[in-house]
Structure 1
Amino acid sequence: MTILLLGSGGREHAFAWKMIQSPLCDQLFVAPGNAGTAAIATNVNISPTDFDAIKTLVLQENITMVVVGPEDPLVKGIFDFFKNDDKLSHIPVIGPSKTGAQLEGSKEFAKEFLVKHNIPTAAYDSFTAETVEQGCDFLATLKAPYVLKADGLAAGKGVLIIHDLAEAKEELRNMLVGQKFGAASTKVVIEEFLDGIELSCFVLTDGKTYKILPTAKDYKRIGEGDTGLNTGGMGAVSPVPYVDAVLMEKIETRIVKPTIEGFQKDGIEYKGFVFIGLINVNNEPIVIEYNVRMGDPETEVVVPRLKTDLVELFLAVANEKLDEITLEIDERSATTVMLVSGGYPEDYEKGKVITGLENITDSIVFHAGTKLENDTVISNGGRVLAITSYGNDFQEAIKKSYQNIAKLSFDKMNFRKDIGNDLL
């Protein structure tokens, strides 16, 4: 098969790394890719949301499957674009329909879906610029801290957790009237705060049946001890040590199963990943959010633990035969630590030369924000590299990641030194 993978981050490098191990994958194109994917596949300088350019490439290279990494093309309807085009409709797209992608594209849509299908979630209401003062009144009925979520896509940064009521009201006005997150915050969901431990559950579905992938926990804040600004993710651990069979059974029966059944009841076409952000409150799992693709950097610990052929899984999704596949998981733990640019998640510089990549042993380096310039790997984003390692437990794995990080360098390189410490 000739496969096209859309995206340019660590998630996509991890997918590419796994897909090229499959005997079913003859050729892999990545659009636009990064320096890591360039070493193992063919990068094509096309934006994942330029559907016309993607169509041209697909027809030109006789591509037989498209795997979508990031959320943007899904929310913009790439699945429907292929389905409704006579020349493309026979080519499977791994990712949900435009309607399904609204689970991530609109916080309000997701909340309505959760409530409709009796899936446990926090109490909420949503507001616009016209109803901003009603939103302020609603905040006053809640206990601190206050959770404000931009309704649309805000690159993982559209959620604010505020402890002071006056400040929460001010930020609500900033989001709705001042357009703090641009078009993403023309509507804001206010939610009750839930106190517990967060974890991520990943599901692959063909729309009828599903496979639950290994659990993972990521670390969103820039600073040690989960302090500072939210980022796209600073590291991850899989499996999550405190998730036992009892909690997993609750997650499956109360959340995963009703989610997939909800797709069928609502007539939502969904062939791809469902990322369920959960919070464990007194051993009761509650949904915080849905994403309609794999998380990043969680992919960099979940995919390395899959023993099953990833392309075989994708084919089964396309053909609605996922129930015929046995999912095999590596028993070892996997951890990853993100190396980020100085200043990230605020202003940062690109174009920093990365040294030491050839010295890495016993870890996998997944490229995120990198590119090749005159055969030199340079930084090209806020999150630059993910250093993934295996171990008999997460402590052993994380130790290897940090040992290898010591061999790597670029100007103003930053990373968290406490990934996994909260699990000890």
Structure 2
Amino acid sequence: MNILLLGSGGREHALAWKLAQSKQCDQLFIAPGNAGTALCGKNVAIKATDFDAVKKFVLEQTIGLVVVGPEEPLVKGIVDFFRKDEALKEVVIIGPSQYGAQLEGSKAFAKKFMEKYNIPTAAYKEFDKNTYAEGIAYLQQHPLPIVLKADGLAAGKGVLICQSNLEAVAEFELMLQQNKFGDAGNKVVVEAFLDGIELSVFILTDGKEYVVLPEAKDYKRIGEKDSGLNTGGMGAVSPVPFADEVFMKKVEDRVIRPTVEGLNAENIDYKGFVFIGLIKVGEEPMVIEYNCRMGDPETEVVMPRLKTDLVDLLLATDSGKLGTIKVEQDSRSACTVMAVSGGYPGNYEKGFVISGLDQELPADSLIFHAGTGLSASDEVVTSGGRVLCVTSFGNNIPAAVSKSRSVLNNIDFEGMYYRRDIGYEFE
């Protein structure tokens, strides 16, 4: 069948790489894609949120499967758009309905869902402009640190950890009164701070059944030993050493199963990925957030470790046959290290030529493009803050990290930076 993948980042390159391997994939198109996805299929100049252009292309190319990479089209209702269109409704599309996408699109919706289905998470309260004064009073007496979350999508920047009550009040005012995060901050969720170590768990669900994919741990801070500003992710490892069988049984019993049962009980149309952001507090899993798609850069270690045919899994999700498929995982460790533009996550320049992409790679290393494009002379150039990452396998995390660093040592572009300590706590 012909497949269309929407998106343009490292997650999409990893998904494209995996989709292209399927025996069921005849032609793979990526919209809009990047210089790396062009190596897996054909890039098409369509924005993932231009639903009419997507429809036209799907019909012209007889697309049988649409995979939605990023969250924005899902939160804006692309699945509903397909379901309601007579010409599109038979096309398989992977992702939740607009209502279901609120698990990511609205922090308040997600917290209410967790509360209703007894899914462990931090205590919280929500406030808007109408309850602003009540919110100020609440923050002035709240134990420290205090977590503030913009309710809507804020490009990964809408979560603040405040170390003083004064800071929390000031940020709360900026969000609700000064539109710091635009419409995303029209409602603010205030949470108790959870102290522990984080990991990401991924499932594919049809809203009734589910399969668990390889878990991962990502590294958000720009600086080594998790210092400095938050980014979209500087690297990831999988499997996660502390997520042993006992812990993952707790995750499945207390988080995954109640989540899927909740989707079913609410009659939510949800055929796609659920990314569960967890924190291990003591020995107990607690949910920080849900995302309605795969993570980035976690996908870049999850997809290489997934041995099962991804298209088979996606089609089983659509047809309600997930229970018939057993997910197989590579037992080796995988690590991805992200190379970013100089100045990221602040201001950075684009358009620098990338060298070293043509190096002979070890058999167990892969390069995934994130923010790349082609120049007028067909050279691969930087086009984003996170530019590319190298994923490698090893018998343990330090070995996998070492291989990824060796490949990155031969790649260069002006201002290139990467963390050399991804997976440092597992050495």
Sort the TM-score into its range (normalised by shorter chain): over 0.9
For residues 339-364 of structure 1, give each alpha carbon's deviation from its aligned partner in whole angstroms, at most 9, with x where no partner exists.
01111111111101100111152220
Query: Do the aligned residues in 2 keep the contact of 1:342 with 1:412 (CA within 8 Å)?
Result: yes
Task: Give the secondary structure class of the aligned counterpart of 2:90.
Answer: coil
Task: Give the secondary structure class of the aligned counterpart of 1:390.
Answer: strand
Aligned equivalent of 1:193: 193
| 1:228 maps to 2:228 | yes
Task: Give the secondary structure class of the aligned counterpart of 1:149.
Answer: strand
Q: CA deviation at 1:375?
A: 1.6
For residues 92-141 of structure 1, give each alpha carbon's deviation from its aligned partner in whole angstroms, at most 9, with x where no partner exists.
11001111100000000000000000100100011113322221221233
Aligned equivalent of 1:413: 416
Matched ranges for 1:240-389 at <5 A: 240-362=240-362, 363-373=365-375, 374-389=377-392
Q: CA deviation at 1:318?
A: 1.0
Q: How far apart, CA to CA, are the structure 2 residues paired with 1:132 and 1:193?
A: 21
| 1:393 maps to 2:402 | no
Letter in 2 for 1:190: V
| Regions of 4+ moved over 4 Å | none
> Could you say what the CA RMSD is over the residues aligned between the two structures, in angstroms?
0.8
Task: Give the secondary structure class of the aligned counterpart of 1:171.
Answer: helix
Query: Do the aligned residues in 2 keep the contact of 1:360 with 1:404 (CA within 8 Å)?
Result: no
For residues 21-53 of structure 1, give each alpha carbon's deviation from its aligned partner in whole angstroms, at most 9, with x where no partner exists.
111000000000000011221100110000000
Letter in 2 for 1:97: S
Letter in 1 for 2:2: T
Q: CA deviation at 1:273?
A: 0.3
Task: Give the secondary structure class of the aligned counterpart of 1:104.
Answer: helix
Query: Do the aligned residues in 1 keep the contact of 2:398 with 2:426 (CA within 8 Å)?
Result: no
Query: Do the aligned residues in 2 keep the contact of 1:360 with 1:407 (CA within 8 Å)?
Result: no
Q: CA deviation at 1:167?
A: 1.0
Q: How far apart, CA to CA, are the structure 2 residues paired with 1:354 and 1:364?
A: 16
Query: Do the aligned residues in 2 keep the contact of 1:144 with 1:193 (CA within 8 Å)?
Result: yes
| 1:404 maps to 2:413 | no
Q: How far apart, CA to CA, are the structure 2 residues paired with 1:237 and 1:291?
A: 19
Could you tell me the TM-score, scaled by structure 1's length? 0.99
Q: How far apart, CA to CA, are the structure 2 residues paired with 1:360 and 1:175?
A: 49
Query: Do the aligned residues in 1 keep the contact of 2:397 with 2:426 (CA within 8 Å)?
Result: no
Indicate the percent of aligned positions where both proteins have the same amino acid. Answer: 61
Letter in 1 for 2:146: Y
For residues 346-400 of structure 1, give each alpha carbon's deviation from its aligned partner in whole angstroms, at most 9, with x where no partner exists.
1111101100111152220000000112220000111000110000111110000
Aligned equivalent of 1:21: 21
Aligned equivalent of 2:98: 98
Matched residue count: 424
For residues 273-303 of structure 1, give each alpha carbon's deviation from its aligned partner in whole angstroms, at most 9, with x where no partner exists.
0000001001100000000000000000000
Unaligned runs of 5+ in 2: none
Q: CA deviation at 1:236?
A: 0.2
Q: How far apart, CA to CA, are the structure 2 residues paired with 1:234 and 1:130?
A: 38
Q: CA deviation at 1:215?
A: 1.0
Q: How far apart, CA to CA, are the structure 1 residues paired with 2:141 and 2:282?
A: 24
Q: CA deviation at 1:218?
A: 0.3
Letter in 2 for 1:175: M
